[in-house]
Structure 1
């Protein structure tokens, strides 16, 4: 048997932020490619070792095709040793590489190992494969950390709010990287308003509902109306009427349109609205706008739309109307989003774009000093932080304080310190950024007292916020990054199990949710690996969207069903269903795009 060793450098001659990630993906792809070699896959085995650190690239060695540059340093030596430790067809990485990768991959902890030529045990991980979490978690800011270095941004928001109160409505678009402080700045303004007379409306877009028409508006209405699990359709309708009456006395159209949006039957209380699907959609958007106008006429209105980069197309249409109209209202709209989203409202006279940059060194020093309880840090905060990260320890107050390697690691470290609550955090993260006490109680296989203790710990750790009291409480993760961090702690098999349990629970105990949100059911069944169930619900979601004339969302739902149906064995039933979906998709695309 012959062994061949190959050294590959990522980050030379040009470094990139994602070099560690690309190295691991290359290793996994290499193993996959070798396994597919016909006739040779039983003879070839690949072992990959990856380490991260500084190296020295020296003079050329060898001649001709064998010519290469010498790579010198501890890092290539460590990588070679890790390669020797790896099992056949496995990727093994050092701990500092693991910290850089965050939740992009699933891992198996091999623990600290003694390695020849290294004076200390090296914590080693095996990379099992790419996880379903697609992003690195870049930031975490504790709720008790004072807002530092954002005085100009807060002053701008305050000025725009004063103008809005005087009837000169405005829109502020806040753009920035994940975790840089978009939501925190908006929250600070809300806190400053305190008891000042005003109305506030808050909407959350979700990465899991980008194709659920008007999802942020639906969830906001449900929360404001105070819907409870045991509410009858009649009770829900009464609550909806009460909420709508606060802004509008003419409810003959508003109630049936928005009741239909919330899947609430109106019975004989309101005459049926005989609109075409397109007219129904138009009227629904107009009714929503009228509600905003009614509220703003009573007292100043502040609307916060978070994470609009995850918005569904119909919500963007609704925002278009709203942003055009707000200029003449006593209202201010704050919209937060990430840089990849291109807002179509820039350039309008009453719209201000606020780009958040990273804090300068002195402000970062001030923030970290606050977090360390007043411990003095040197001026060179970046270099200091990197060196502390590598050492893993910082002396302070007579104790050693562990400093996480990355901000994502900080999130994971906080979850680790709450080890007994990890299972609850994972279930909650699988449910979504927002979830009800009743739903998590039904899904979690544990006693009520244990569940309540775990949720209380998450609240005390300021990872989750609670609104109301159990059993009617609802919960929200402090930030989407917190939810992602909790979700990333699960292996794929555990995720599939949880998604399947959630979908089954919704079907069995919450049929009204399953009926009103078929796209949510489809996502859970798809993540659980139940392809046929997922297709069924994507189909239902598409047909519900067609009925509401939200054709862009309908096309997406039918497209997802068609993508999944290709995984089923060929049969007359599959071909018939596939033709039906194709016809439905064609109709939706024709209606949406002509």
Structure 2
């Protein structure tokens, strides 16, 4: 996955994770979906090969994207009379990438063809058999009677071996009387000699019914393979087939029989980013869980990143989902050039992608794993730096980034600051009439650092939303909290809000009693705005009961206080 890209992870661990999706029974139980255009391309190339052409297909994509599964599904169709072919299935191993012809040697040692090719009835001459045995020391003892070959220069020996191996394929093709399909998985781990032989093969067998299919990860190709692929593309002798992520409809088809709820399926799709292997692993853990197999695999890849790239990636995980360069630089603590170099590396290997001037994790799950693997002190430091960087933005932008500041200050352990920005975010949501979000943020502010004022804010949002009963209950809680603190002005404000909720419910007796209780505390010196609101409430109540003169008196008093103290005509708290 993009999550699984880059570096040179330990071969045994990567091989285990890499082959499991293709060959485990759990994986094969999942339906094979999509990939229709890719299968059509392979069918077309197979038809051309069957007509006597040498064809090359370059199958690329991240780990777990389904290169091996596509090969398995498609190659299974090559057993019918109409599409009969001889299949040579090879796998390159990282641990053997320095050994000449390593994938071919593994195939020879495991294939029944070795016995047929090295026999008295072999289609190969004794000289060619001797050339092949140079590569197969484990077989030399079985056929020790083959002629000894003369000592040659390195270049002559290389070309003779290339031709000998090529003759093996021709012998197989002649014996089977069918096109040959050679598939090499993880071709990015091929040795240089094997790659040079591919080049030789393409020129030598240009008019032979042969399909060469190389599956590899382009970001991990060796210089030799990268050069060969570039030349083939320039010469237009190879078809490139890059496997994309599954779209949501295809992912939903895979999850159809999982029994997951629709909302969980959407979450799993976002977390997997459409990578079939990641999706399969996520389906096997409880909701919200991270499979240990993916954690281990991500750790392996991250361990092989340069130190600066790891630090920048940690900072990006803390800032995710919105990652702009300047905030990222300040959060990671690196210089501009160091940050740029790290971003180049992280985008090259596919951990991050650049989108409209910002960066994002190509796979959200990677960010989750990165954050969960941060030590406590490092997590706090990164969140504190992120918060400080965000605060440097203009005041006008603060309401828009307040939610981010809540996350960062909470992550830094500064709960009071986190609660402060939760209130700002809640007020912004209230102005946007996003009541559920405003209530959630008010509750979060109280959880982070509870105060009567924050509880009062929650009640005011509920009141404005129209939940009069619940708002009044909250205001009464606030009233008792203020009384316990002997905060008379706060208690008076709570009384006024209780009265306002009662007015909305048309409980006029409650309006009168709570407003009068507030008036017994308030005066123009300590809270002229509260006093003005008390008169507004009494004016409204009097109007509703038909006491016009009394209503006018209270309205006039509220207007006078507003003019004298420069208050809004309808103060709201």
TM-score range, shorter chain: 0.3 to 0.5
Which is helix-richer, 1 or 2?
Answer: 2
Rg: which structure is higher? 2
Give the TM-score of the pair, scaled to structure 2.
Answer: 0.41
Give the TM-score of the pair, scaled to structure 1.
Answer: 0.39
